[in-house]
Amino acid sequence: MSELPGSTDKTEKADVSPESGRASETQIPKTRAETAAENAKTVRTLVFVVIGMLGFSFALVPLYDVFCDLTGINGKTSNEAAVYESVIIDESRTIKVEFITRTHSGMPWEFRAQTVEVEVHPGEMSEVAFYVRNPTDRDIIAQAIPSVSPGTAALFVNKTECFCFKHQPLKAGEEALMPMKFYVDPQLPKDITVFTLQYTLYDISAKVQPAVDVAMNNS
């Protein structure tokens, strides 16, 4: 057969790469048992990781509290009464102590310090009082939480008596004066001449009242 003018016989050659000449490796599929075993191992690993993370996060809370108690970094004071022993009063130093009061959101009480500030000598026993009134028509149980600023001063504030050591109940319309006795440790750093003691009052009736009712019913 004659070729048409201008036509050419082109034969396209396949581009064969070296890899194409290799026999493809055959992958043996995993059995269901093998797949299930691997999945179970992965799940166990993830469970252990989650449990470890939860345990570590819970451990951080008491560790942080211990750290704060040792360093006074967050201004927390001791929640136990101190014992006033024979202390040499350092009359060469005068420390100004300021008192601030506030109520937490939802706490309707009136709460204020009778004395907004006092000047004391390290080692000298002092007493102040705080006024509270429950203006509502219901009984309320309160808890005061103290803090000191600067935080390092918290380590040197020793309270022998404080309303913050226990719950403070007030009946509807009732008022009271709550005393607080304290002294400043003579070891207070020389660069601290003023510090602030703040009390925040919380309504804990919902948390405490059920336990009170149970105790009264059992008595």
Q: Would you say residue 29 lies in a domain?
A: no
CA distances from 2 to 6, 9, 11 (A): 12, 12, 18
Amino acid letter for position 52: G
Range scoring the smallest mean pLDDT among 31-45, 130-144, 154-168, 180-194:
31-45
Does residue 2 carry a pLDDT above 60?
Answer: no
pLDDT digits 0-9 by tens, 90-110: 999 999 999 999 999 999 999
pTM over 0.75, yes/no: no
Q: Which residue has the higher pLDDT, 181 or 33?
A: 181
Which residue, among 104, 189, 129, has the nearest Cα to 153 in the 3D structure? 189
34-59 burial code (b ≥16 CB/10 A, e <16): eeeeeeeeeeeeeeeeeeeeeeeeee
Mean of the pLDDT values across residues 31-38? 67
Range of the domain at 163: 95-209
- pLDDT reported for residue 132: 98
Same domain, 100 and 202: yes
Q: Would you say residue 5 lies in a domain?
A: no
Same domain, 125 and 204: yes
Mean of the pLDDT values across residues 75-85? 73
Reduced 3-state DSSP string for 3-34: CCCCCCCCCCCCCCCHHHHCCCCCCCCCCHHH
Q: What's the CA gap between 104 and 145, in Å, rounded?
A: 10
